[in-house]
Structure 1
Amino acid sequence: MAGFEDIREHMEVIGADGVHVGTVDKIEGDRIKLTKKDSGQGSHEGHHHFISRGLVADIEGDQVRLSATAANAVQFEEEE
């Protein structure tokens, strides 16, 4: 089984429901930094968001699967 250290740039981050959450920009400490293009709309647009290591359930090929659904995962995102 792949671990957190196997996460690479440009991998797709998906929720437990298979819905796109974002794209990996890079790893910073215990968090996945998502690209700005996946930052959302309104006040969330144009800056990076972060996903905690604790939400990562598995790594499957070029996808990082989270333990939470996409809708729930964005509630846990941290902003820069």
Structure 2
Amino acid sequence: MIAATDIREHMEVMAADGRHVGTVDHMEGESRIKLTRSDSEDGQHHLIPLDWVDHVDAHVHLNKNADDVQREWSTIN
């Protein structure tokens, strides 16, 4: 399992299909990644669960494709 400490601010978040889905703003608690609003098409923050992370290197790689991520993420103002 991926540890919350593996995730750093400003890391690029990539979907399983290789598409960019956001940039890490910060960890929201121990189980959710908050994405920056400035990198979002709708100008809002989005939250994705740590469970969606497949692995972390220079980027955060998810185990879902971009369409599924965008359909299932939580949106906050």
> TM-score, normalised on structure 1?
0.83
Q: How far off is 1:18 after superposition? A: 1.0
- State the identity %: 47
Cα 1:35–1:52 change in 2 (3 A) is same
Kindly report structure 1 stretches of 4+ aligned residues shifted beyond 3 Å: 1-4
Q: In the alignment, what sits opposite 1:64?
A: 60
Normalized per residue, the structure richer in helix is 1
Q: Is the 8 A contact 1:55 1:66 kept in 2?
A: yes
Give 1:2 shift: 6.1
Matching of residue 74 in structure 1 with residue 65 in structure 2: no
- Asked whether 1:47 is paired with 2:44, we answer yes
Q: Does 1:32 align with 2:29?
A: no
Structure 2 gaps of 5+ residues are none
> CA deviation digits over 1:19-52, x for unaligned, max 9?
1000000001111100112222xxxx22211111
State the superposition RMSD in angstroms. Answer: 1.6
- 1:4 & 1:18 partners in 2: Cα distance? 22
